[in-house]
Structure 1
Amino acid sequence: MTEQHDSSDTNPPREPVTTRRGIRSFVLRQGRMTEGQKKAYERCWPKYGLTREQGVIDPREVFGREAWLNLEIGFGMGHSLADMAEAAPEQDFIGVEVHQAGVGALLKEIEDRGLENVRIYAIDANEVIDHCLPDAWLDRVMLFFPDPWHKKRHHKRRLVQPEFVQRIRHKLRVGGIFHLATDWEDYAGHMMEVLSASEGFANAEGEGQFASRPEYRPVTKFEQRGARLGHGVWDLVFRRTN
Protein backbone atom coordinates (compact mmCIF):
# COMPACT_ATOMS: atom_id res chain seq x y z
CA MET A 1 0.00 0.00 0.00
CA THR A 2 1.19 3.42 -0.53
CA GLU A 3 2.64 5.36 2.28
CA GLN A 4 1.25 8.83 2.61
CA HIS A 5 3.99 11.33 1.85
CA ASP A 6 4.70 14.06 4.35
CA SER A 7 6.82 16.86 2.97
CA SER A 8 8.20 17.46 6.46
CA ASP A 9 9.71 13.98 6.73
CA THR A 10 13.47 14.38 6.91
CA ASN A 11 14.24 10.65 6.85
CA PRO A 12 14.74 9.43 3.30
CA PRO A 13 12.69 6.35 2.38
CA ARG A 14 14.41 3.05 2.08
CA GLU A 15 14.80 1.43 -1.29
CA PRO A 16 11.60 -0.30 -2.36
CA VAL A 17 11.57 -4.08 -2.62
CA THR A 18 10.54 -5.64 -5.90
CA THR A 19 7.96 -8.40 -6.12
CA ARG A 20 6.73 -10.61 -8.93
CA ARG A 21 4.47 -7.71 -9.96
CA GLY A 22 7.30 -5.19 -9.78
CA ILE A 23 7.48 -2.34 -7.29
CA ARG A 24 5.61 -2.71 -4.03
CA SER A 25 2.99 -0.13 -3.23
CA PHE A 26 4.81 1.02 -0.10
CA VAL A 27 8.21 1.85 1.32
CA LEU A 28 9.17 0.36 4.66
CA ARG A 29 10.03 2.83 7.41
CA GLN A 30 10.55 2.40 11.11
CA GLY A 31 7.58 3.06 13.33
CA ARG A 32 6.51 1.70 16.68
CA MET A 33 3.05 1.51 18.11
CA THR A 34 2.32 3.41 21.30
CA GLU A 35 0.98 1.45 24.26
CA GLY A 36 -2.52 2.72 23.46
CA GLN A 37 -2.20 1.58 19.86
CA LYS A 38 -0.90 -1.84 20.93
CA LYS A 39 -3.81 -2.37 23.28
CA ALA A 40 -6.29 -1.25 20.62
CA TYR A 41 -4.65 -3.66 18.17
CA GLU A 42 -4.92 -6.56 20.61
CA ARG A 43 -8.57 -5.82 21.36
CA CYS A 44 -9.80 -4.86 17.90
CA TRP A 45 -7.79 -6.65 15.23
CA PRO A 46 -9.75 -9.94 15.52
CA LYS A 47 -12.96 -8.05 14.67
CA TYR A 48 -11.78 -5.39 12.20
CA GLY A 49 -8.72 -7.01 10.62
CA LEU A 50 -8.73 -8.83 7.28
CA THR A 51 -6.00 -11.11 5.94
CA ARG A 52 -4.88 -12.52 2.61
CA GLU A 53 -5.49 -16.01 3.99
CA GLN A 54 -9.22 -15.29 3.94
CA GLY A 55 -9.05 -15.15 0.14
CA VAL A 56 -11.56 -13.20 -1.91
CA ILE A 57 -14.03 -11.65 0.51
CA ASP A 58 -17.76 -11.16 0.15
CA PRO A 59 -18.24 -7.59 1.44
CA ARG A 60 -21.84 -8.39 2.37
CA GLU A 61 -20.59 -11.03 4.79
CA VAL A 62 -17.74 -8.88 6.10
CA PHE A 63 -19.97 -5.89 6.89
CA GLY A 64 -23.28 -7.67 7.34
CA ARG A 65 -24.98 -5.55 4.69
CA GLU A 66 -24.71 -4.34 1.10
CA ALA A 67 -23.60 -0.70 0.96
CA TRP A 68 -21.45 1.74 -0.99
CA LEU A 69 -17.94 0.32 -0.66
CA ASN A 70 -14.78 2.45 -0.44
CA LEU A 71 -11.15 1.33 -0.56
CA GLU A 72 -8.37 3.62 0.68
CA ILE A 73 -4.85 2.62 -0.29
CA GLY A 74 -2.30 3.90 2.20
CA PHE A 75 -4.32 5.47 5.02
CA GLY A 76 -1.27 6.62 6.99
CA MET A 77 -2.25 7.13 10.63
CA GLY A 78 -5.91 6.62 9.77
CA HIS A 79 -7.38 9.92 10.98
CA SER A 80 -8.81 10.86 7.59
CA LEU A 81 -10.26 7.41 7.01
CA ALA A 82 -11.88 7.47 10.45
CA ASP A 83 -13.30 10.93 9.69
CA MET A 84 -14.78 9.72 6.40
CA ALA A 85 -16.27 6.60 7.97
CA GLU A 86 -17.77 8.59 10.86
CA ALA A 87 -19.26 11.14 8.46
CA ALA A 88 -20.82 8.45 6.23
CA PRO A 89 -22.14 5.62 8.44
CA GLU A 90 -24.28 4.40 5.52
CA GLN A 91 -21.09 3.53 3.59
CA ASP A 92 -18.45 0.88 4.22
CA PHE A 93 -14.68 1.42 4.14
CA ILE A 94 -11.71 -0.89 3.67
CA GLY A 95 -8.32 0.60 4.49
CA VAL A 96 -4.92 -0.77 3.51
CA GLU A 97 -1.75 0.12 5.41
CA VAL A 98 1.42 -1.88 6.12
CA HIS A 99 2.86 0.29 8.87
CA GLN A 100 1.98 -1.07 12.28
CA ALA A 101 1.76 2.32 13.95
CA GLY A 102 -0.83 3.43 11.42
CA VAL A 103 -2.85 0.23 11.80
CA GLY A 104 -2.79 0.57 15.57
CA ALA A 105 -3.75 4.23 15.37
CA LEU A 106 -6.75 3.52 13.14
CA LEU A 107 -7.91 0.66 15.36
CA LYS A 108 -7.79 3.05 18.31
CA GLU A 109 -9.84 5.59 16.32
CA ILE A 110 -12.36 2.86 15.44
CA GLU A 111 -12.68 1.87 19.09
CA ASP A 112 -12.85 5.43 20.44
CA ARG A 113 -15.47 6.50 17.89
CA GLY A 114 -17.47 3.27 17.92
CA LEU A 115 -17.15 2.78 14.16
CA GLU A 116 -18.63 -0.40 12.69
CA ASN A 117 -18.13 0.38 8.99
CA VAL A 118 -14.33 0.03 8.72
CA ARG A 119 -12.13 -3.01 8.04
CA ILE A 120 -8.34 -3.11 7.64
CA TYR A 121 -5.74 -5.00 5.64
CA ALA A 122 -2.18 -4.75 6.98
CA ILE A 123 -0.49 -6.05 3.81
CA ASP A 124 0.73 -4.65 0.50
CA ALA A 125 -2.16 -3.21 -1.49
CA ASN A 126 -1.06 -5.22 -4.52
CA GLU A 127 -1.84 -8.38 -2.54
CA VAL A 128 -5.25 -7.00 -1.59
CA ILE A 129 -6.09 -6.05 -5.17
CA ASP A 130 -4.92 -9.33 -6.67
CA HIS A 131 -6.07 -11.84 -4.06
CA CYS A 132 -8.67 -10.37 -1.71
CA LEU A 133 -11.23 -8.21 -3.50
CA PRO A 134 -13.99 -9.37 -5.87
CA ASP A 135 -14.11 -7.84 -9.34
CA ALA A 136 -16.50 -4.97 -10.10
CA TRP A 137 -17.49 -4.49 -6.47
CA LEU A 138 -15.86 -1.26 -5.29
CA ASP A 139 -17.71 2.04 -5.62
CA ARG A 140 -14.70 4.23 -4.92
CA VAL A 141 -10.94 3.77 -4.67
CA MET A 142 -8.97 6.52 -2.93
CA LEU A 143 -5.23 7.08 -3.26
CA PHE A 144 -4.26 10.18 -1.31
CA PHE A 145 -0.71 11.57 -1.24
CA PRO A 146 1.28 8.51 -2.33
CA ASP A 147 5.06 8.74 -2.29
CA PRO A 148 5.87 11.06 -5.24
CA TRP A 149 9.39 9.71 -5.89
CA HIS A 150 10.21 13.24 -6.95
CA LYS A 151 13.68 12.54 -8.37
CA LYS A 152 13.42 11.90 -12.10
CA ARG A 153 15.44 8.70 -11.94
CA HIS A 154 12.91 7.33 -9.44
CA HIS A 155 9.76 8.12 -11.43
CA LYS A 156 9.47 4.51 -12.54
CA ARG A 157 8.84 3.61 -8.88
CA ARG A 158 5.65 5.66 -8.70
CA LEU A 159 2.60 3.55 -7.95
CA VAL A 160 0.36 5.22 -10.53
CA GLN A 161 1.32 3.38 -13.71
CA PRO A 162 -0.87 2.04 -16.57
CA GLU A 163 -0.82 -1.56 -15.34
CA PHE A 164 -1.77 -0.59 -11.78
CA VAL A 165 -4.63 1.60 -13.03
CA GLN A 166 -6.08 -1.29 -15.02
CA ARG A 167 -5.99 -3.54 -12.00
CA ILE A 168 -7.91 -0.88 -10.07
CA ARG A 169 -10.38 -0.62 -12.96
CA HIS A 170 -11.29 -4.30 -12.71
CA LYS A 171 -12.14 -3.94 -9.02
CA LEU A 172 -14.40 -0.91 -9.57
CA ARG A 173 -17.97 -1.31 -10.72
CA VAL A 174 -18.86 0.48 -13.95
CA GLY A 175 -19.48 4.06 -12.87
CA GLY A 176 -17.19 3.66 -9.87
CA ILE A 177 -14.72 6.39 -8.90
CA PHE A 178 -10.94 6.45 -8.74
CA HIS A 179 -9.98 9.50 -6.68
CA LEU A 180 -6.34 10.53 -6.38
CA ALA A 181 -4.65 13.47 -4.67
CA THR A 182 -1.07 14.70 -4.50
CA ASP A 183 0.83 17.77 -3.32
CA TRP A 184 3.50 17.36 -5.99
CA GLU A 185 2.63 19.16 -9.22
CA ASP A 186 4.90 16.96 -11.32
CA TYR A 187 3.23 13.82 -9.98
CA ALA A 188 -0.18 15.39 -10.57
CA GLY A 189 0.74 15.82 -14.22
CA HIS A 190 1.98 12.23 -14.36
CA MET A 191 -1.27 10.97 -12.81
CA MET A 192 -3.32 13.00 -15.27
CA GLU A 193 -1.34 11.66 -18.21
CA VAL A 194 -1.64 8.03 -17.11
CA LEU A 195 -5.34 8.17 -16.20
CA SER A 196 -6.30 10.13 -19.31
CA ALA A 197 -4.69 7.49 -21.51
CA SER A 198 -6.15 4.54 -19.57
CA GLU A 199 -8.79 2.39 -21.23
CA GLY A 200 -12.10 2.33 -19.42
CA PHE A 201 -11.73 5.61 -17.53
CA ALA A 202 -13.10 9.10 -18.11
CA ASN A 203 -12.25 12.30 -16.26
CA ALA A 204 -15.31 13.29 -14.23
CA GLU A 205 -14.30 16.97 -14.52
CA GLY A 206 -13.65 16.98 -18.24
CA GLU A 207 -10.58 16.19 -20.31
CA GLY A 208 -7.36 17.31 -18.64
CA GLN A 209 -9.15 18.99 -15.71
CA PHE A 210 -8.27 18.64 -12.05
CA ALA A 211 -11.06 18.50 -9.48
CA SER A 212 -11.83 20.68 -6.50
CA ARG A 213 -11.38 18.79 -3.27
CA PRO A 214 -14.60 16.81 -2.73
CA GLU A 215 -16.26 17.48 0.62
CA TYR A 216 -15.79 13.87 1.69
CA ARG A 217 -11.98 14.09 1.53
CA PRO A 218 -10.71 15.52 4.84
CA VAL A 219 -7.86 18.01 4.81
CA THR A 220 -4.84 16.39 6.46
CA LYS A 221 -2.61 18.18 8.96
CA PHE A 222 0.38 18.22 6.63
CA GLU A 223 -1.90 19.45 3.82
CA GLN A 224 -2.96 22.35 6.04
CA ARG A 225 0.67 23.04 6.84
CA GLY A 226 1.55 22.94 3.15
CA ALA A 227 -1.26 25.35 2.31
CA ARG A 228 0.13 27.85 4.82
CA LEU A 229 3.45 27.58 3.00
CA GLY A 230 1.80 28.12 -0.35
CA HIS A 231 1.97 24.52 -1.52
CA GLY A 232 -0.72 23.31 -3.91
CA VAL A 233 -2.80 20.13 -3.84
CA TRP A 234 -4.20 18.46 -6.94
CA ASP A 235 -7.23 16.14 -6.91
CA LEU A 236 -8.13 13.87 -9.81
CA VAL A 237 -11.50 12.12 -10.10
CA PHE A 238 -11.97 9.50 -12.81
CA ARG A 239 -14.92 7.17 -13.41
CA ARG A 240 -14.86 3.66 -14.80
CA THR A 241 -16.78 3.70 -18.10
CA ASN A 242 -16.64 0.05 -19.11
Structure 2
Amino acid sequence: MPEELPEAEPAFRKQPVSFVRRSGRMSEAQDRAWAELAPQYLFDVPRDVASTSVHPDARLVPAEVYGREAPLTVEIGSGQGHAIVSAATAHPERDFLAVEVFRAGLARTMLDADRAGARNLRLVEANAPEVLETLLPEGSADEVWVFFPDPWHKSRHNKRRLVKEGFGALAGRALRDGGVLRLATDWEDYALQMREVLDGAPEFERAFDGASDPDQASDPDGDWAPRFEGRVMTAFERKGLNKGRDIRDLTYRRVPRG
Protein backbone atom coordinates (compact mmCIF):
# COMPACT_ATOMS: atom_id res chain seq x y z
CA MET A 1 0.00 0.00 0.00
CA PRO A 2 1.38 3.48 -0.82
CA GLU A 3 2.01 5.87 2.06
CA GLU A 4 -0.83 8.19 3.02
CA LEU A 5 -0.61 11.52 1.24
CA PRO A 6 -1.94 14.93 2.22
CA GLU A 7 -5.31 15.90 0.82
CA ALA A 8 -5.17 17.95 -2.37
CA GLU A 9 -6.83 21.34 -2.65
CA PRO A 10 -10.36 21.07 -4.15
CA ALA A 11 -10.21 21.56 -7.92
CA PHE A 12 -11.73 20.50 -11.20
CA ARG A 13 -9.95 18.91 -14.15
CA LYS A 14 -8.78 21.60 -16.53
CA GLN A 15 -8.88 19.35 -19.60
CA PRO A 16 -11.61 17.01 -20.88
CA VAL A 17 -10.77 13.35 -20.36
CA SER A 18 -10.62 10.89 -23.25
CA PHE A 19 -13.30 8.61 -21.80
CA VAL A 20 -16.82 8.57 -20.45
CA ARG A 21 -16.91 6.28 -17.45
CA ARG A 22 -20.14 4.35 -17.79
CA SER A 23 -21.45 2.30 -14.90
CA GLY A 24 -21.63 -1.34 -15.92
CA ARG A 25 -22.32 -4.39 -13.81
CA MET A 26 -19.53 -6.89 -13.53
CA SER A 27 -20.09 -10.63 -13.70
CA GLU A 28 -19.70 -12.80 -10.60
CA ALA A 29 -16.31 -13.93 -11.90
CA GLN A 30 -15.20 -10.33 -12.38
CA ASP A 31 -16.41 -9.36 -8.91
CA ARG A 32 -14.50 -12.31 -7.48
CA ALA A 33 -11.39 -11.35 -9.46
CA TRP A 34 -11.56 -7.81 -8.11
CA ALA A 35 -11.82 -9.07 -4.55
CA GLU A 36 -9.25 -11.86 -4.75
CA LEU A 37 -6.73 -10.75 -7.38
CA ALA A 38 -6.56 -6.97 -6.91
CA PRO A 39 -4.05 -7.25 -4.03
CA GLN A 40 -1.67 -9.03 -6.42
CA TYR A 41 -2.22 -7.04 -9.59
CA LEU A 42 -3.75 -3.64 -8.84
CA PHE A 43 -1.64 -0.65 -7.78
CA ASP A 44 -3.68 1.36 -5.28
CA VAL A 45 -3.58 4.90 -6.67
CA PRO A 46 -3.96 7.79 -4.22
CA ARG A 47 -6.63 10.07 -5.67
CA ASP A 48 -6.88 13.78 -6.30
CA VAL A 49 -10.33 15.21 -7.12
CA ALA A 50 -11.98 12.41 -9.09
CA SER A 51 -12.36 8.64 -8.84
CA THR A 52 -9.90 8.13 -11.71
CA SER A 53 -7.53 10.98 -10.82
CA VAL A 54 -3.99 10.71 -9.49
CA HIS A 55 -2.79 12.66 -6.47
CA PRO A 56 0.08 14.89 -7.66
CA ASP A 57 2.38 13.51 -4.96
CA ALA A 58 1.69 9.85 -5.75
CA ARG A 59 4.45 7.79 -7.38
CA LEU A 60 4.64 4.29 -8.80
CA VAL A 61 8.28 3.22 -8.50
CA PRO A 62 8.69 0.18 -10.76
CA ALA A 63 11.53 -1.45 -8.81
CA GLU A 64 9.39 -1.36 -5.66
CA VAL A 65 6.17 -2.52 -7.32
CA TYR A 66 7.70 -5.38 -9.33
CA GLY A 67 10.49 -6.22 -6.91
CA ARG A 68 13.20 -6.06 -9.57
CA GLU A 69 14.86 -3.92 -12.24
CA ALA A 70 13.51 -4.77 -15.71
CA PRO A 71 12.38 -2.98 -18.90
CA LEU A 72 8.86 -1.59 -18.42
CA THR A 73 6.13 -1.48 -21.06
CA VAL A 74 3.06 0.68 -20.35
CA GLU A 75 -0.17 0.16 -22.28
CA ILE A 76 -2.57 3.10 -22.26
CA GLY A 77 -6.19 1.99 -22.55
CA SER A 78 -5.60 -1.74 -22.12
CA GLY A 79 -9.31 -2.61 -22.46
CA GLN A 80 -9.93 -6.30 -21.76
CA GLY A 81 -6.18 -6.84 -21.47
CA HIS A 82 -5.74 -9.23 -24.40
CA ALA A 83 -2.66 -7.50 -25.83
CA ILE A 84 -0.82 -6.87 -22.59
CA VAL A 85 -1.54 -10.27 -21.00
CA SER A 86 -0.26 -11.97 -24.14
CA ALA A 87 2.88 -9.82 -24.13
CA ALA A 88 3.51 -10.31 -20.41
CA THR A 89 3.15 -14.06 -20.78
CA ALA A 90 5.49 -14.16 -23.78
CA HIS A 91 8.13 -11.94 -22.15
CA PRO A 92 8.61 -12.84 -18.47
CA GLU A 93 11.92 -10.95 -18.52
CA ARG A 94 10.05 -7.64 -18.94
CA ASP A 95 7.54 -5.83 -16.72
CA PHE A 96 4.16 -4.56 -17.96
CA LEU A 97 1.72 -1.92 -16.69
CA ALA A 98 -1.90 -1.74 -17.91
CA VAL A 99 -3.64 1.64 -17.56
CA GLU A 100 -7.43 1.53 -17.83
CA VAL A 101 -10.47 3.26 -16.29
CA PHE A 102 -13.11 0.56 -16.81
CA ARG A 103 -13.29 -1.89 -13.92
CA ALA A 104 -14.83 -4.72 -15.92
CA GLY A 105 -11.87 -4.61 -18.29
CA LEU A 106 -9.40 -4.53 -15.43
CA ALA A 107 -11.13 -7.48 -13.77
CA ARG A 108 -11.01 -9.47 -17.01
CA THR A 109 -7.32 -8.62 -17.35
CA MET A 110 -6.62 -9.93 -13.85
CA LEU A 111 -8.53 -13.16 -14.53
CA ASP A 112 -6.64 -13.83 -17.75
CA ALA A 113 -3.29 -12.89 -16.22
CA ASP A 114 -3.87 -15.21 -13.29
CA ARG A 115 -4.82 -18.09 -15.59
CA ALA A 116 -1.70 -17.46 -17.68
CA GLY A 117 0.51 -17.20 -14.61
CA ALA A 118 1.69 -13.70 -15.55
CA ARG A 119 3.31 -12.25 -12.45
CA ASN A 120 5.13 -9.44 -14.27
CA LEU A 121 1.94 -7.43 -14.85
CA ARG A 122 0.38 -4.68 -12.75
CA LEU A 123 -2.76 -2.61 -13.34
CA VAL A 124 -3.61 1.02 -12.71
CA GLU A 125 -7.17 2.36 -12.63
CA ALA A 126 -6.56 5.99 -13.57
CA ASN A 127 -6.70 8.74 -16.17
CA ALA A 128 -3.77 8.03 -18.50
CA PRO A 129 -2.38 11.58 -18.90
CA GLU A 130 -2.04 11.87 -15.12
CA VAL A 131 -0.21 8.53 -15.02
CA LEU A 132 2.26 9.74 -17.64
CA GLU A 133 2.61 13.21 -16.16
CA THR A 134 3.19 12.43 -12.48
CA LEU A 135 2.55 8.86 -11.32
CA LEU A 136 5.40 7.29 -13.29
CA PRO A 137 8.91 8.53 -12.53
CA GLU A 138 10.49 10.42 -15.40
CA GLY A 139 12.23 8.13 -17.88
CA SER A 140 10.95 4.95 -16.21
CA ALA A 141 9.23 3.35 -19.22
CA ASP A 142 11.00 1.45 -21.97
CA GLU A 143 7.90 1.43 -24.22
CA VAL A 144 4.48 3.10 -24.22
CA TRP A 145 1.64 1.55 -26.25
CA VAL A 146 -1.55 3.28 -27.42
CA PHE A 147 -3.56 0.77 -29.45
CA PHE A 148 -7.00 1.68 -30.84
CA PRO A 149 -7.87 4.53 -28.48
CA ASP A 150 -11.40 5.93 -28.63
CA PRO A 151 -11.45 7.92 -31.92
CA TRP A 152 -14.10 10.40 -30.78
CA HIS A 153 -14.89 10.65 -34.47
CA LYS A 154 -17.49 13.44 -34.28
CA SER A 155 -15.73 16.76 -34.85
CA ARG A 156 -17.27 18.32 -31.76
CA HIS A 157 -15.74 15.53 -29.68
CA ASN A 158 -12.22 15.62 -31.16
CA LYS A 159 -11.00 17.60 -28.15
CA ARG A 160 -11.47 14.43 -26.08
CA ARG A 161 -8.91 12.47 -28.08
CA LEU A 162 -5.96 11.20 -26.09
CA VAL A 163 -3.34 11.92 -28.74
CA LYS A 164 -3.54 15.66 -29.30
CA GLU A 165 -1.31 18.67 -28.79
CA GLY A 166 0.74 18.13 -25.64
CA PHE A 167 0.63 14.33 -25.69
CA GLY A 168 4.21 14.15 -26.99
CA ALA A 169 5.48 15.90 -23.88
CA LEU A 170 3.53 13.54 -21.59
CA ALA A 171 4.68 10.35 -23.30
CA GLY A 172 8.18 11.74 -23.71
CA ARG A 173 8.44 12.45 -20.00
CA ALA A 174 7.61 8.88 -19.03
CA LEU A 175 9.89 7.24 -21.61
CA ARG A 176 13.62 6.77 -21.18
CA ASP A 177 15.96 8.19 -23.82
CA GLY A 178 15.71 5.85 -26.79
CA GLY A 179 12.40 4.43 -25.56
CA VAL A 180 9.67 3.57 -28.05
CA LEU A 181 6.12 4.89 -28.45
CA ARG A 182 3.84 2.58 -30.47
CA LEU A 183 0.38 3.57 -31.70
CA ALA A 184 -2.29 2.01 -33.89
CA THR A 185 -5.76 3.08 -35.04
CA ASP A 186 -8.31 2.14 -37.67
CA TRP A 187 -9.59 5.72 -38.08
CA GLU A 188 -7.73 7.53 -40.87
CA ASP A 189 -8.31 11.06 -39.61
CA TYR A 190 -7.13 10.11 -36.13
CA ALA A 191 -4.04 8.45 -37.60
CA LEU A 192 -3.29 11.67 -39.48
CA GLN A 193 -3.77 13.66 -36.27
CA MET A 194 -1.46 11.30 -34.34
CA ARG A 195 1.21 11.67 -36.98
CA GLU A 196 0.91 15.46 -37.07
CA VAL A 197 1.09 15.71 -33.28
CA LEU A 198 4.09 13.42 -32.88
CA ASP A 199 5.99 14.63 -35.94
CA GLY A 200 5.79 18.05 -34.34
CA ALA A 201 6.82 16.89 -30.86
CA PRO A 202 10.49 17.69 -30.12
CA GLU A 203 10.63 14.66 -27.82
CA PHE A 204 10.24 12.17 -30.69
CA GLU A 205 11.51 11.05 -34.06
CA ARG A 206 10.03 8.42 -36.35
CA ALA A 207 11.39 4.91 -35.84
CA PHE A 208 10.46 1.87 -37.89
CA ASP A 209 12.34 -0.64 -35.75
CA GLY A 210 11.03 -4.18 -35.59
CA ALA A 211 9.79 -4.13 -39.18
CA SER A 212 9.48 -7.50 -40.85
CA ASP A 213 10.67 -5.85 -44.08
CA PRO A 214 14.28 -4.57 -43.79
CA ASP A 215 13.55 -1.87 -46.39
CA GLN A 216 10.73 -0.52 -44.21
CA ALA A 217 12.96 -0.57 -41.15
CA SER A 218 15.36 1.83 -42.87
CA ASP A 219 12.66 4.18 -44.16
CA PRO A 220 11.99 6.80 -41.45
CA ASP A 221 10.31 9.08 -44.01
CA GLY A 222 7.60 6.57 -44.94
CA ASP A 223 3.97 7.37 -44.22
CA TRP A 224 3.29 4.60 -41.71
CA ALA A 225 5.17 2.06 -39.65
CA PRO A 226 4.73 -1.67 -40.34
CA ARG A 227 2.33 -3.54 -38.10
CA PHE A 228 3.92 -4.20 -34.71
CA GLU A 229 4.47 -7.94 -34.60
CA GLY A 230 4.15 -7.96 -30.80
CA ARG A 231 0.52 -6.79 -30.97
CA VAL A 232 -1.97 -9.66 -30.91
CA MET A 233 -5.18 -9.35 -32.90
CA THR A 234 -7.90 -7.94 -30.62
CA ALA A 235 -11.62 -7.37 -31.05
CA PHE A 236 -11.02 -3.68 -31.79
CA GLU A 237 -8.62 -4.42 -34.63
CA ARG A 238 -10.80 -7.20 -36.02
CA LYS A 239 -13.86 -4.93 -35.94
CA GLY A 240 -12.03 -2.26 -37.91
CA LEU A 241 -10.89 -4.76 -40.51
CA ASN A 242 -14.39 -6.22 -40.83
CA LYS A 243 -15.70 -2.74 -41.55
CA GLY A 244 -13.13 -2.32 -44.30
CA ARG A 245 -10.98 0.22 -42.48
CA ASP A 246 -7.20 0.24 -42.86
CA ILE A 247 -5.11 -0.28 -39.72
CA ARG A 248 -2.36 2.31 -39.43
CA ASP A 249 0.63 1.88 -37.12
CA LEU A 250 3.00 4.59 -35.97
CA THR A 251 6.30 4.10 -34.17
CA TYR A 252 8.38 6.85 -32.57
CA ARG A 253 11.61 6.89 -30.58
CA ARG A 254 12.33 9.17 -27.63
CA VAL A 255 15.21 11.46 -28.56
CA PRO A 256 17.93 12.05 -25.93
CA ARG A 257 17.11 14.70 -23.35
CA GLY A 258 19.07 17.89 -23.46
Deviations 1:128-175 (A, max 9, x none): 223311001100000111111112222222111121220110110010
Quote the Cα distance in structure 1 between the aligned partners of 2:238 and 2:60.
Answer: 36
- 1:33 corresponds, among 22, 26, 34, to 26
Quote the Cα distance in structure 2 between the aligned partners of 1:45 and 1:113.
Answer: 16
Quote the Cα distance in structure 2 between the aligned partners of 1:218 and 1:42.
Answer: 28
Confirm whether residue 178 of structure 1 aligns to residue 181 of structure 2: yes
In the alignment, what sits opposite 2:207? 204
Deviations 1:8-33 (A, max 9, x none): xxxxxxxxxx9534021322123221
Quote the Cα distance in structure 2 between the aligned partners of 1:154 and 1:25.
Answer: 9
Displacement of 1:208 after TM fit?
A: 5.2
In the alignment, what sits opposite 2:7? none
In the alignment, what sits opposite 1:226? 240
Contact 2:144–2:182, Cα closer than 8 Å, also in 1: yes
Displacement of 1:110 after TM fit?
A: 1.5
In the alignment, what sits opposite 2:228? 214
Quote the Cα distance in structure 2 between the aligned partners of 1:208 and 1:31.
Answer: 42
Code of the residue aligned with 1:25 in structure 2: it is S
Q: TM-score, normalising length from structure 1?
A: 0.87
Contact 1:52–1:131, Cα closer than 8 Å, also in 2: no
Q: Which moved more, 1:47-56 or 1:171-180?
A: 47-56
Higher relative contact order structure (alpha carbons within 8 Å, sequence separation ≥ 6): 1
**Secondary structure of 1:52's aligned partner:** coil
Contact 1:70–1:93, Cα closer than 8 Å, also in 2: yes
Code of the residue aligned with 2:32 in structure 1: it is K
Quote the Cα distance in structure 2 between the aligned partners of 1:158 and 1:235.
Answer: 17
Contact 2:79–2:100, Cα closer than 8 Å, also in 1: yes
Quote the Cα distance in structure 2 between the aligned partners of 1:109 and 1:19.
Answer: 35
In angstroms, what is the RMSD of aligned CA positions?
1.7
Contact 1:52–1:127, Cα closer than 8 Å, also in 2: no
Residues 239, 95 of structure 1: alpha-carbon distance in 2 compared, 3 angstrom cutoff: same
Displacement of 1:40 after TM fit?
A: 1.2
Residues 171, 86 of structure 1: alpha-carbon distance in 2 compared, 3 angstrom cutoff: same
Code of the residue aligned with 2:111 in structure 1: it is K
Contact 2:77–2:147, Cα closer than 8 Å, also in 1: yes
Residues 208, 20 of structure 1: alpha-carbon distance in 2 compared, 3 angstrom cutoff: farther
Displacement of 1:97 after TM fit?
A: 0.8
Q: TM-score, normalising length from structure 2?
A: 0.82
Confirm whether residue 103 of structure 1 aligns to residue 106 of structure 2: yes
Code of the residue aligned with 2:18 in structure 1: it is S
Contact 1:210–1:235, Cα closer than 8 Å, also in 2: yes
Confirm whether residue 158 of structure 1 aligns to residue 151 of structure 2: no
Which structure has the bigger radius of gyration?
A: 2
Query: Which runs of 5 or more structure 1 residues have no equivalent in the other structure?
Result: 1-17
Say how many residue pairs are matched.
225
Code of the residue aligned with 1:75 in structure 2: it is S
- 1:91 corresponds, among 80, 94, 110, to 94
